[in-house]
Amino acid sequence: QITVKESGPALVKPTQTLTLTCSFSGFSLSTDTVGVGWIRQPPGKALEWLALIYWNDDKRYSPSLKTRLTITKDTSKNQVVLTMTHMDPVDTGTYYCAHRDGWGPGYFDYWGQGTLVTVSS
């Protein structure tokens, strides 16, 4: 079965760069139509999509955060890495990675448990 799990620092300082890793099993990122996305959720607020990487290395980013985000994949390790530069306290929240399926934009059908990131000095 498909599982995904996020890992990364729980605390980062303002202006620092955040690096999060999504480790997954049960699927391969070299299989057609497969993708892995990142979504975040500030405390008490709505979900916000951040980035997505497809099996063919096509990458998509949230337009409002595009200049700060980089998403990469390591197919051999079954991992996807998201980096976010210039972290600010407003970036505090739970960060989720999720398996993307379906045709067209598709949907996120398997989610990790999330990792809480706090931005504070």
Partner 1 sequence: QSVLTQPPSVSGAPGQRVTISCAGSSSNIGIGYDVLWYQQFPGSAPRLLIYDNNNRPSGVPDRFSGSKSGTSASLAITGLQAEDEADYYCQSYDNSLSAYVFGTGTKVTVL
Q: Which residues bind partner 1 (CB under 8 A)?
A: 37, 39, 46-49, 52, 60, 62-64, 96, 102, 104-105, 107-109, 111-114
CB 63 → partner 1: shortest distance, Å?
6
Cβ distance to partner 1 smaller for residue 31 or 105? 105
Cβ distance to partner 1 smaller for residue 74 or 109? 109
Handedness of CA 85, 91, 93, 96 (dihedral sign): negative
- Which residue type sits at 54? Y
CB 13 → partner 1: shortest distance, Å?
25
Cβ distance to partner 1 smaller for residue 11 or 47? 47
Cβ distance to partner 1 smaller for residue 60 or 70? 60
State the Cα angle at 104 between 62 and 24, rounded to 5°.
70
Contact 28, 90 (CB under 8 A): no
d(CA 94, CA 40): 6
CB 76 → partner 1: shortest distance, Å?
26
What number of other Cβ atoms are within 10 A of residue 4's Cβ? 22
